[in-house]
């Protein structure tokens, strides 16, 4: 049993495209969180009454999915393709190993709980 | 003799102007950080309650009571004794004296509320209440009497201020500068971002102010006829002209910003206020445009300084009021209001000098007295919230409330 957790920080407006791309690959379950963050480009300037003010953290979405290792690459590829604009601020994908999963309703463990 | 049409219009106008204080609360509230939005609303709303009481008890008689030496009203009308349903012919011959008193109360309320923009997000609430009470007593009442009271010395000199460019906006705007200096800048000012909590609240507030201003300026005719209509028209025209100008300037800078358009509208309304009973619609177009340009650059200049007049009360109301008062000395026409005077552009340069003297006197008086009052109250009650109170936000530390869950 090898499970991977995929955390993707994406542009808020790309959520539906990513969701559709994952669904096409048979990946249904995921958790989405509204987050704020910044990359090396730092924040952005917004218009004030006159002049501007700086916002240091930008609103993004964080997707979390736990999948079987064999599905990990296609999930990563689907997110990468669907979420990409080619401009600064497209986000990042983090992949890590997961020890176990429990389905709360039944108590099933591991792959069966996904 | 009471005229029912006039009375109806003044009562409606009074309600419109009373609405402007909650509108201002939201105009300001939207621009502060989430942790201070309730506190910011509270500043204006507490003034609405407190000055309503102060005005009945002694504010009205100090401002409009029988003249004492051109400087202040006598105490003859303490507690509104003697202010009744019959007109006071000197102020407004066709409406109940009580209606005139109530209309003026709305102005006495919104004026100190304007100042609050200078010290949001760090003010100590009890010190604030004390400051406003003293400010209304020692600045609003005398200046109101000088300019509008029968026997007031600036009124006798011929100063024109139809609806409060000087009495309301210059007093508030210049005092804001003085208090901001005493209170000091917010923690982290220019180091940490200060994100506005709710721009739509600010936009809603701005356009409710626009709506209420028809009562502010239109009602200042104190009758419901042609003059009120003329003031109504130039009010809308100047607001529109300033909003459009501000939108274009912000567009040249980058994009046409909603916050910019809304700020421009308010500045246009400020500037037309003193002129609204004396100028033509074409002059109003010019006044709105000039005021927007001056206040826009005044904000930019203020932002380069270390002075944290947080919501630019001086740039918007101080400079807007000064622009309006001086423009009144340029654009006023006796053809619009025979009780007024001609301005410089209509052959009477003397009126401009009268306006200039009035501006200087009121600005200097407001600044000095505000500065001294603020220093005294700061020493006795503290005008500034404690450092940790400011950090967690005034909503929780001053009022034990939060605007938003989670």
Shortest CA distance to B188 belongs to which of B36, B372, B402?
B36
- CATH code of A85's domain: 3.30.70.120
Residue B161 pLDDT > 80, yes or no?
yes
What pLDDT does residue B405 have? 80
CATH number of the domain residue B34 falls in: 1.10.3430.10
Q: What local confidence, expressed as pLDDT, does residue B134 receive?
A: 98
Cα–Cα distances in Å, from B393 out to B40, B197, B228? 11, 13, 44
What backbone torsions phi and psi does residue A36 show, to the nearest 5 degrees? -120, 145
ipTM of the complex as predicted: 0.81
Is B149 exposed, middle or buried (CB count within 10 Å of its CB: 0-12, 13-18, 19+)? buried
Domain that residue B180 falls in: 4-399
pLDDT band at B261 (very low <50, low <70, confident <90, very high): very high
A47 chain-B contacts, CB cut-off 8 A: 250, 253-255, 257, 259-260
* pLDDT, tens digit (0-9, with 9 covering 90-100), for B66-87: 999 999 999 999 999 999 999 9
In a domain, B406, yes or no: no
Could you tell me what percent of chain B has a pLDDT over 70? 100
- Whole domain around residue A75: which residue ranges? 3-113
Per CB-CB distance under 8 Å, the chain A contacts of B193 are 43, 53-56
Q: Do B250 and A47 touch (CB under 8 A)?
A: yes
Task: Find, in chain B, the residue whose alpha carbon is nearest to that of A54.
Answer: B193
The band of B65, judged by pLDDT with boundaries at 50, 70 and 90, is very high
Nearest residue to B30 (alpha-carbon basis) of A29, A9, A49: A49
Nearest-Cα distance to chain B for A28, in Å, is: 29
Tell me the chain A residues in contact with residue B194 when contact means C-beta distances shorter than 8 Å. 53
Report the pLDDT value the prediction gives residue B389, as an integer from 0 to 100.
Answer: 97
Dist. CA B269–CA B291, nearest whole Å: 9
Which of A43, A49, A56 has its CB closest to that of B259? A49
Q: Among B238, B237, B236, B218, which Cα is nearest to B228's?
A: B218
For residue A12, is pLDDT > 80?
yes
Count CB atoms within 10 A of the CB of residue B362: 27
B191–A contact, CB cutoff 8 A = no
Residue B404 lies in a domain: no
User: Per residue in A25-64, pLDDT tens?
Assistant: 999 999 999 999 998 888 888 999 998 998 999 999 999 9
- CB–CB contact B303 A43 (8 Å): no
Chain B residue with CA closest to A43: the answer is: B193
Say whether pLDDT at A114 is over 80: yes
Question: Which chain A residue has its CA at the smallest distance from B257's CA?
Answer: A47
Q: Does B296 touch chain A (CB under 8 A)?
A: yes
Residues of A in contact with B310 (CB under 8 A): none
Chain A environment of B302 (Cβ under 8 Å): none
Pick from A50, A54, A55: which is nearest to B299 by CB? Answer: A50
pLDDT at B267: 98
Q: Find out whether B136 and B112 touch, Cβ atoms under 8 Å.
A: yes
- Decide if B91 is inside a domain: yes
- The minimum CA-CA distance between B111 and chain A, rounded to whole Å, is 22
Interface membership of B248 toward A (CB under 8 Å): no
Identify the burial level of A65 via C-beta atoms within 10 angstroms of its C-beta, where 0-12 means exposed, 13-18 middle and 19 or more buried.
buried
Report pLDDT for B383: 97
Q: Which of residues 250-289 of B touch A (CB under 8 A)?
A: 250, 253-255, 257, 259-260, 263
pLDDT at B203: 98
Q: Please indicate whether, in this complex, the C-beta atoms of A54 and B193 are within 8 angstroms of each other.
A: yes
pLDDT at position B193 is 87
Is B294 at the interface with chain A, CB within 8 A?
A: no
pLDDT tens per residue, range B30-63: 999 999 999 999 999 999 999 999 999 999 999 9
Can you give the pTM of this predicted structure?
0.93
Instruction: Give residue A41's pLDDT.
Output: 81
Give the separation between CA B330 and CA B351, rounded to whole angstroms.
Answer: 8
pLDDT tens-digit map of B184-220: 999 999 999 899 999 999 999 999 999 999 999 999 9
Task: Please compute the mean of the pLDDT values over residues B10-21 and round it to a whole number.
Answer: 98
Closest-CA distance, A39 to chain B, in angstroms, reads 17
Contact A49 B263 (CB under 8 A): yes
Count of domains for chain A? 1
Chain A contacts in chain B segment 33-52 (CB below 8 A): none
pLDDT given at position B106? 98
Cross-chain Cβ contact A48/B259 below 8 Å: yes
Residue of A nearest to B298 (CA): A50
| DSSP letters for B51-119 | HHHHIIIIIHHHHHSSEETTTEE-GGGGGGTT--SS-BTTTBTTS-HHHHHHHHHHHHHHHHHHHGGGT
- Mean pLDDT, chain B, integer: 97
**Interchain proximity A52–B254, CB inside 8 Å:** yes
Which residues of A fall below an 8 Å CB-CB distance to B? 43, 47-56
Start-to-end Cα distance in chain A: 12
Q: Total structural domains in chain B?
A: 1
Checking if the pLDDT of A1 tops 80, the result is no
Shortest Cα distance from A51 to chain B (angstroms)? 6
Cα–Cα distance, A75 to A20 (Å, whole number): 12
- Mean pLDDT score, B222-228: 97
Contact B303 A50 (CB under 8 A): yes
Chains A and B form CB pairs within 8 A to the count of: 39
Q: Measured between alpha carbons, how far is B208 from B95 in angstroms, rounded to an integer?
A: 26
Residue B406 has pLDDT above 70, yes or no: no
Of A51, A54, A55, Cβ closest to residue B300: A51
Query: Distance between CA atoms of B174 and B364, rounded to whole angstroms?
Result: 8
What is the distance of C-alpha B60 from the center of its chain? 17
The reply to whether residue B257 touches residue A56, judged by beta carbons under 8 angstroms, is no
* pLDDT tens per residue, range B263-280: 999 999 999 999 999 999
């Amino acid at each position: 049993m090898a499970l991977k957790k995929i955390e993707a920080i994406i542009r808020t407006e790309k959520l539906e495209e990513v969701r559709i791309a994952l669904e096409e690959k048979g990946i249904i379950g995921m958790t989405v969180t509204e987050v704020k963050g910044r990359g090396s480009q730092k924040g952005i300037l917004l218009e004030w009454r006159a002049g501007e003010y700086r916002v240091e953290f930008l609103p993004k979405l964080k997707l979390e999915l736990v999948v079987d290792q064999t599905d990990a690459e296609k999930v990563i590829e689907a997110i990468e393709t669907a979420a990409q604009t080619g401009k600064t601020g497209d986000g990042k994908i983090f992949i890590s190993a997961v020890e176990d999963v429990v389905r709360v309703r039944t108590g099933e463990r591991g792959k069966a709980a996904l | 003799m009471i005229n029912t049409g006039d009375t109806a219009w003044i009562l409606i106008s009074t309600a419109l102007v009373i609405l402007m204080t909650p509108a201002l609360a939201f105009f300001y509230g939207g621009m502060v950080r989430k942790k201070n939005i309730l506190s910011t609303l509270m500043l204006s709303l507490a003034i609405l309650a407190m000055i309503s009481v102060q005005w009945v008890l002694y504010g009205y008689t100090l401002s409009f009571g029988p003249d004492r030496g051109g400087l202040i009203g006598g105490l003859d009308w303490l507690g509104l004794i003697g202010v009744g349903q019959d007109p006071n012919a000197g102020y407004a011959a066709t409406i109940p004296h009580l209606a005139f008193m109530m209309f003026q109360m709305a102005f006495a309320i919104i004026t100190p509320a304007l100042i609050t923009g200078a010290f949001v997000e760090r003010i100590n609430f009890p010190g604030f209440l004390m400051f406003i009470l003293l400010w209304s007593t020692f600045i609003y009442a005398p200046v109101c009497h000088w300019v509008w009271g029968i026997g007031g010395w600036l009124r006798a000199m011929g100063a024109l201020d139809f609806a409060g460019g000087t009495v309301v906006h210059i007093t508030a705007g210049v005092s804001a500068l003085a208090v901001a200096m005493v209170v000091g800048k917010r923690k982290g000012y220019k180091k940490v971002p200060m994100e506005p909590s709710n721009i739509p609240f600010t936009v809603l507030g701005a356009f409710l102010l626009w709506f209420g201003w028809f009562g502010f300026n239109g009602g200042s005719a104190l009758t419901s006829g042609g003059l009120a209509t003329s003031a109504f028209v130039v009010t809308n025209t100047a607001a529109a002209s300033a909003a459009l100008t501000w939108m274009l300037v912000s567009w040249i800078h980058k994009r046409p910003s909603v916050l910019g358009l809304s700020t421009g509208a308010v500045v246009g309304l400020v500037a037309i206020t003193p002129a609204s009973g004396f100028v033509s619609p074409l002059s109003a177009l010019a006044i709105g445009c000039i005021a927007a340009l001056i206040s826009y650059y005044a904000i930019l200049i203020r932002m380069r300084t270390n002075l944290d007049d947080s919501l630019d009360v001086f740039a918007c109301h101080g400079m807007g009021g000064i622009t309006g008062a001086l423009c009144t000395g340029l654009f006023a026409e006796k053809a619009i209001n025979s009780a007024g005077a001609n301005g410089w552009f209509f052959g009477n340069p003397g009126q401009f000098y009268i306006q200039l003297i009035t501006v200087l006197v009121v600005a200097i008086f407001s600044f000095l007295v505000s500065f001294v009052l603020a220093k005294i109250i700061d020493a006795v009650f503290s005008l500034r919230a404690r450092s940790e109170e400011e950090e967690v936000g005034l909503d929780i530390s001053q009022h034990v409330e939060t605007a938003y869950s989670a």
